[in-house]
Structures are given as C-alpha cells and as structure tokens.
Amino acid sequence: MQKENEFLNNIENRIGYSFRDKGVLLTALTHSSYVKGDSNKCEYNERLEFLGDAVLGLIIGEKIFRALSGMNEGNMTRLRASIVNANALYEVAINLKLGEAIRMGLGEIRSGGREKKSILADCVEAIIGAVYLDGGMSCAVDFIDIQFADIIEKAMTHLSEKDPKTKLQEYVQSKHIGELKYEMVSESGLAHAKEYCIAAVLNGEVIGTGIGSSKQEASQQAADCALDKIKEKV
C-alpha cells in the first residue's frame, strides 16, 4: 500500500493535481490488458477515456468559441481538431512520462505497449476524465490550460496557414503531376475510440499515411507526410 501511495503521489506531482479519491487516478492509469482474464481484479480506464474525450473537446471548443468570435463553424472545427487529436495527446503523455506509469499486462509490455501512441493518448484522456470526476470542471480546465498550453499556442500561431490537404492539393495541381486521392487503409477500436489509418495516393502510389481518431485527422496527417515526400521526387 505504501508503494502504491508513493507511486500515485509521484503521478500527482507530474500532472499538478492532488486527488481526493486516489482510486480514480489508479483506474485512469490502468490499461485493459492489466485485467485481462480477471474482470474482478480492478477497473480499467476505457470509461474514463470516454469521459475525458468529451470534457477535453468541450473545454477546447469553448476556448475557441470565446477567443475567436468571428470564426465560422467549419474553421472552429478544424482548429479544435488540430488541438484535440492523438498526436497532441501523445505529446502530453510523453511530457508527463506516462509510459512508465501505466499499468498493463505483461504481453502488452512485451509488444511495446509503453511506447504505443494510442495507449498513451487514451491514458491522457482518462486522466482528464479522472480530474473532472474528482475535482469538477474548473480543475479539468486548469489541467488542460497547463498541459496543453504549448499545443494551443502552436495551433493559434498556425491558424492562418492552409491545412495540409489544401496545400498538397494545390501543389499537385500547380505541378500537373497526376491524380491525388485518399484511401482508407484500416479502421480499428471501439465505437467511442476509433482509430483510422488513411493513405494519400498519387497516381496509384502511396506517398503518405496518417493515423487519427477521425478520418479527417488521419487524412490531414497523411497529406502532411506526403508533402515532404512528393517534393523530394519532383
């Protein structure tokens, strides 16, 4: 018990929030593989991840709504997606060194689970859900303000830039180098936590792939990856 308390205190110091109910933090740090085959062992973090995803989306959405009164719905959605995505969540997880803290099964550990983007990103959402449950919306806002500060600033800085899909399409058209399209490679995950892999295809050749929690996010990442590759070839 003492070791567990020391472990949780260490995590609280990293995230900047002290839980009244330590159990909810422990649940947020527990991957489903940890309890595989023993559903009575303890709870795992998928339900908290679901809640955290909703809380994060709401908080970021409200920030955008209040800060940018003249922005239309489409651009607000695109801006939110540039902040609320697997890459941003993964960045937060790396900063908090969550990989070493997540409780997971031995098989998952052996397969590189502590470095998997999806597992780390899901854990951040679960922690947001846990903070919200334990301390309310104001505490969740404080957590996001601190942990997502650089991500939000970067997104705002690049607000006036064209998105990767637009830049890639304009480049292909200006160079007259063929037909560009996007193809679904795979779709996985539960209904509330889908993960899509999409490829950017030029003249039948895959020039970039992207992974995201939405098809739009995945295709934007694929386009971003393709931009560098296509310019090297032309």
Residue among 53, 108, 134, 163 flagged as catalytic: 53
125 has catalytic annotation = yes
Residue among 49, 91, 108, 125 flagged as catalytic: 125
CA-based radius of gyration for the chain: 20
In this structure, are residues 8 and 25 in contact, taking their beta carbons and an 8 Å threshold? yes
Give, in order, the Cα–Cα distances in Å from 92 to each of 56, 95, 127, 227.
Answer: 13, 5, 11, 26
134 has catalytic annotation = no
**Residues tagged active-site:** 53, 125
